[in-house]
Structure 1
Amino acid sequence: MATIRHEFYETDERLTLSIFDKGADPGAVKITFEPRKFTYTNGEKSLVLEPLKGQITTDACDYTVGKVKVEVRFTKTAMGRWGGLIGDSPDPLANSASSSVKTTSVKPRKNWEGITTDILASEKEKTTEEDANVGGDATLNSFFQKIYGDADEDTKRAMMKSYSESGGTTLSTNWDEVRKGKVEVKPPAGAEWKKWN
């Protein structure tokens, strides 16, 4: 028989088990509740949990068969978190002193900082020839200084006029186009231009 995928979540009073058996026929599903054992069968698929981490009140447990999963609701005999489905932990009812002990399960946290560092380290650094934005404002500034320094007087005039009249949103090197009139402000897509004086 093949074991079936499952997961659970719990409160102090109940534990809900999801058994992922898509399209299960409610008439073919067989479930058995015992104080420290749970059995699920549906044709060739099965799930046996033994011994359960804690004792359950069998007549208070129930289940529903859905289209994607079978949801099983265990009612715990003793209050507290199990932290797992099966285990050899002593039955809390056998020793009244242990009934106040609660166990918790802590999921390992994803190290997003490490993942980001790994991705950035694996990326190939671009040179200023490949991307003018490499190196931040200093490199970009030197890029524009080179264009301006190597340009003729008309190109320099076009760059100065277009940049200053557009509020820094346009930089043109075409003097024939720029000299015809005032250069319009063209904010980036999704942005709105506001005058601050």
Structure 2
Amino acid sequence: MASIRHEFYETDERLTISIFDKGADPAQVAVTFEPRSLSYENGKKTLQLAPLKGQIDPSKSDYTVGKVKIEIRLAKVVSGRWGAIVGDSPDPLSTATFTPSATAPVAQARQNRKNWDSITETILSSDKGASSGEDPNTGGDAAVNDFFQKLYADADDDTRRAMLKSYQESGGTTLSTNWDEVKKAKVEVKPPEGSEWKKWAA
């Protein structure tokens, strides 16, 4: 049986495999999805991928047959990057369970709120020079405090993580709500124009 050339790319939610089987007849192509495996068949051409690096949801996975290649889309059960299609040992993401960490979101939320209070105070202390009379957009410390607390309280987990990570890593010079962008690398310090960033000694 001939093996087939294939490649993949992924996002946190999905892994897409391109199988290069030119001129494949959709009626002859069969793709079988299992939680930790994938099989492709087209006559004598087959491709078996197991065990998958992470767990997938077969009901949400699908494929399309094109003139040059077959595109198979695997829906990940747990969000995150695999780095490879298959893995000899189970990926930590695939074995993640929600039961033991049922209280984790609550504890994390408390920790986040505590951190955010500190961040808000830092922002307010750095903005004391502005008053309602000087800047019509300034509603006073209470208004700023309420704004940030409401923004944080209404945000989802990814947005909260983005806000905390960007603010802390940038030394308070950047506040981002885009977790997809922030999680890729450390957030750079971007001091205001004409200012110089200096790290305080611990």
TM-score (normalised: structure 2): 0.46
With normalisation by structure 1, the TM-score equals: 0.47
